[in-house]
Amino acid sequence: MGTLSFEGADPALSGKARQIVRRLREAGYQAVFAGGCVRDALRGAPVKDIDIATSATPDQVASLFAGHSVGVGRQFGVMVVTQDRTNFDVATFRTDGGYQDGRHPEAVTYDTAEHDAQRRDFTVNALFYDPIAERVIDYVGGVADLRAGVLRTVGDPATRFREDRLRLLRAVRFAAVCEWKIDPATWAALKAEAPNLGYVSAERIRTELVRMLCEAPKPSVALELLRTGGLLTMALPELLPLYGCKQDPKWHPEGDVWTHTLKMLDLAPAPRTAELAWALLLHDIGKPATLETGTRADGTPFFRTPRHAEVGAEMTETILTRLKESRTLTDTVVAAVRNHMHFIELPHMRRSTMRKFLGRPTIDLELELHRLDCLASHADLRLYDLARKTLAGFAAEPVLPPRAVTGKDLIAMGYAPGPPLGKRLDAYYARQLEGEPGERLLGEALRRVPGRTDAPRTVVFVWAPGRKIPLPEAWDALSHGKPGWPTTLLLLPGRGWSGPLPKRYRLVSPVANCTGAIDWPPPASYDLLIAPRGEALPAELLAAGRHVLLA
């Protein structure tokens, strides 16, 4: 068959693997490339890694590659050999004993390459390649099956599936990702063994499902195989009610929820992120549980699913937790499912609400979910375009800017911690998002501090002559005894200012004058220092207080 390309992301991958093979050969052992790398090279697909099979035992491999090998699956004849900082699995040819746990052989026996091929799962995965002679070694008819686009087990399919029940899902993944048909005998055995998928751990099931959803050109193929093969009942039973769950044809001319979900997945080009794949699959998972049907006045039927997004978010969290997905991914997908119906409110949102909506960390995922949701149904992208246009308008600034008024600011001003403080903060932030200047909000907060004689604040305003005094309205109020706190106007020295203080300001306690004589406040002498933003403040001043507010 000639030279095959085994180059993946690392252009030197096959060269490094060939060096290991040559060293094994020079030591008198048989060695070949094995399994998936040969399959992918024959398909013309990128090769992610190269596994090597050899007649050398693990001890012999360890001796030959001393200092560059480690036994990660030594009981099964597998060593990891490092060549030029790249790791390669080097496995001894073997045959397997019985599989009592449906995953691991009870014992392995070192054997020939031909017998090693016959214990593998599918014919297309049981191929070897001699990189020295540049020829494919095929003991099981894998080349013919690959050329015909057929996925077939090696030997008796029921036996292969009982040895490792994860092969049930692997069969579906290979068929969907490689766009192969499953051999009839293999398919019949898969359906018969489907109820035993429950013996497989949640983590292994999740890994296969994610690969199907992310890698398959059309995930709909994988999902239909899972459904018709009986595997969905064991892997994701919550999806089954989507099949036949009716929708309003006005908004969903494509059909039921199952059809809509599969169409969305197929519209997203591979490779998909796991977050997007799960969000597409589960965004309408709550519809069957919330479906309401009836008849309109004109006699036509209606179908409604109120609160399906909220119900779906709860179901999504349950599903992804059961499948042992990461907390970060789960939270992201749950948020996307919960929010996916909110785009309809976008034209009617206040500016502040829109900024909060579009500024959420999951908005990119939710926008893509919304776009595909529309394309897979009514095809109206006006809301999507509005969201994108609005986001573009915030290109020069963050959609959600930092809060001009923080909780620490309010507490330093004299507000008491607690729920009312949170409500006040939210109100100020909403006004900020509507475009109100942060300086105005800070000044208002300071003027409206509730009088608390049990906890008076000592406040210092920093003034640099030639600059506007920070929060002037608040200074006017506080310097005239409202709410009766000690208030100081601190004049930064060395500015060349002379003459009387403007009448609108009252110098309560000067600490510096135009000659530069400085009397800095002692440490911890004030609760709140208010200074102009961008002004360089002396370290002695910063050390004297508890909170600095830049205005």
Domain that holds residue 441: 407-550
**What is the SS3 assignment for 234?**
helix
**What is the SS3 assignment for 223?**
helix
The structure tokens listed for 466 are 């030639």
Mean of the per-residue pLDDT values for the chain? Answer: 87
Q: Is residue 502 part of a domain?
A: yes
Pairing mode of beta strands 128-130, 31-34: antiparallel
Judge if 303 and 365 occupy the same domain.
Answer: yes
pLDDT at 157 over 80: yes
pTM here is 0.77
> What's the CA gap between 149 and 178, in Å, rounded?
8
Residue 454: pLDDT band (50, 70, 90) is low
Please write the tens of the pLDDT for every residue from 179-218: 999 999 999 999 999 999 999 999 999 999 999 999 999 9
pLDDT at 374 over 60: yes
Judge if 396 and 283 occupy the same domain.
Answer: yes
Q: What is the DSSP string of 465-489?
A: TTSPPSSHHHHHHHHTTSS---EEE
Query: Given this model, what pLDDT does residue 318 score?
Result: 97
Query: Given this model, what pLDDT does residue 242 score?
Result: 98
> What's the CA gap between 281 and 238, in Å, rounded?
11
Please give the tally of structural domains in the chain: 3
Query: Given this model, what pLDDT does residue 471 score?
Result: 85
Judge if 375 and 413 occupy the same domain.
Answer: no
Please write the tens of the pLDDT for every residue from 234-262: 999 999 999 999 999 989 999 999 999 99
Query: Given this model, what pLDDT does residue 338 score?
Result: 96
**What is the SS3 assignment for 210?**
helix
Query: Given this model, what pLDDT does residue 477 score?
Result: 78
Of 84, 115, 148, the last residue of a domain is 148
Q: Which of 86-95, 453-462, 472-481 has the lowest mean pLDDT?
A: 453-462
Q: Is residue 394 part of a domain?
A: yes
Most confident of 95-109, 129-143, 450-464: 129-143
The number of beta carbons lying within 10 Å of the beta carbon of residue 151 is 24
Query: Given this model, what pLDDT does residue 112 score?
Result: 92
**Which one is predicted more confidently, 5 or 273?**
273
Query: Given this model, what pLDDT does residue 9 score?
Result: 58
Q: Which of 44-53, 112-121, 337-346, 412-421 has the lowest mean pLDDT?
A: 412-421
Average pLDDT, integer, range 355-364:
88
Please calculate the CA angle 183-185-188 and round it to the nearest 5 degrees: 105
Query: Given this model, what pLDDT does residue 105 score?
Result: 59
Q: Which of 72-76, 153-157, 537-541 has the lowest mean pLDDT?
A: 72-76
Query: Given this model, what pLDDT does residue 449 score?
Result: 80
Q: Is residue 390 part of a domain?
A: yes
pLDDT at 155 over 60: yes
**What is the SS3 assignment for 302?**
strand
Q: What is the DSSP string of 415-432?
A: PPPSHHHHHHHHHHHHHH
Residue 495: pLDDT band (50, 70, 90) is very low
Q: What percent of the chain clears pLDDT 90, i.e. is strictly above it? A: 57
Q: Is residue 79 part of a domain?
A: yes
Average pLDDT, integer, range 437-459:
77
At what angle are helices 327-339 and 274-282 packed, to 10 degrees? 40
CB 507 within 8 A of CB 500: no
The number of beta carbons lying within 10 Å of the beta carbon of residue 228 is 11
- The helix (H) or strand (E) run that includes residue 249 is none
**Which one is predicted more confidently, 25 or 479?**
25
- 297-302-307-312 Cα dihedral, nearest 10 degrees: 170
> What's the CA gap between 371 and 336, in Å, rounded?
13
DSSP letter, residue 279: H
pLDDT at 529 over 60: yes
Judge if 26 and 97 occupy the same domain.
Answer: yes
Judge if 248 and 361 occupy the same domain.
Answer: yes
CATH number, position 75: 3.30.460.10
**Which one is predicted more confidently, 454 or 147?**
147
- How deeply is 338 buried, as exposed, middle or buried, from its count of CB atoms within 10 A (0-12, 13-18, 19+)? buried
pLDDT at 343 over 50: yes
Of 400, 424, 443, the last residue of a domain is 400
Q: Is residue 495 part of a domain?
A: yes
CB 229 within 8 A of CB 187: yes
pLDDT at 280 over 70: yes
Q: Is residue 128 part of a domain?
A: yes
Judge if 421 and 540 occupy the same domain.
Answer: yes
**Which one is predicted more confidently, 431 or 152?**
152
Average pLDDT, integer, range 40-64:
93
Residue at token pair 């007649």:
55
Average pLDDT, integer, range 109-122:
91
CATH number, position 275: 1.10.3210
Sequence-ordered list of residues with C-beta below 8 angstroms from that of 254, at least 6 positions apart, any chain: 260, 263, 376, 377
pLDDT at 97 over 90: no
Of 124, 148, 172, the last residue of a domain is 148
521 upstream amide cis, omega within 30 of 0: no
Query: Given this model, what pLDDT does residue 315 score?
Result: 98
**Cα dist. 413→177, 417, 446, 450, 548 in Å?**
61, 11, 6, 9, 11
> What's the CA gap between 136 and 141, in Å, rounded?
11
pLDDT at 310 over 60: yes
Q: Is residue 214 part of a domain?
A: no
Judge if 249 and 388 occupy the same domain.
Answer: yes
Residue 434: pLDDT band (50, 70, 90) is confident
Reference 279, options 217, 340, 324; nearest CA is 340
CB 340 within 8 A of CB 373: yes
Query: Given this model, what pLDDT does residue 517 score?
Result: 57
Judge if 334 and 394 occupy the same domain.
Answer: yes
In Å, the largest CA–CA distance within the chain is 102
Sequence-ordered list of residues with C-beta below 8 angstroms from that of 162, at least 6 positions apart, any chain: 99, 102, 193, 196
Q: Length of the chain in residues, anyone?
A: 551
Judge if 300 and 445 occupy the same domain.
Answer: no
CB 235 within 8 A of CB 196: no
Residue 452: pLDDT band (50, 70, 90) is low
Per DSSP, helices labelled H in 340-398 are 351-358, 363-375, 382-393
Judge if 455 and 370 occupy the same domain.
Answer: no
The number of beta carbons lying within 10 Å of the beta carbon of residue 348 is 8
Judge if 442 and 542 occupy the same domain.
Answer: yes
Please calculate the CA angle 83-91-156 and round it to the nearest 5 degrees: 145
> Measured between alpha carbons, how far apart are the two ends of the chain, in Å?
75
Q: Is residue 163 part of a domain?
A: no
Judge if 372 and 481 occupy the same domain.
Answer: no
> What's the CA gap between 378 and 380, in Å, rounded?
6
Query: Given this model, what pLDDT does residue 497 score?
Result: 46
The structure tokens listed for 304 are 């409604």
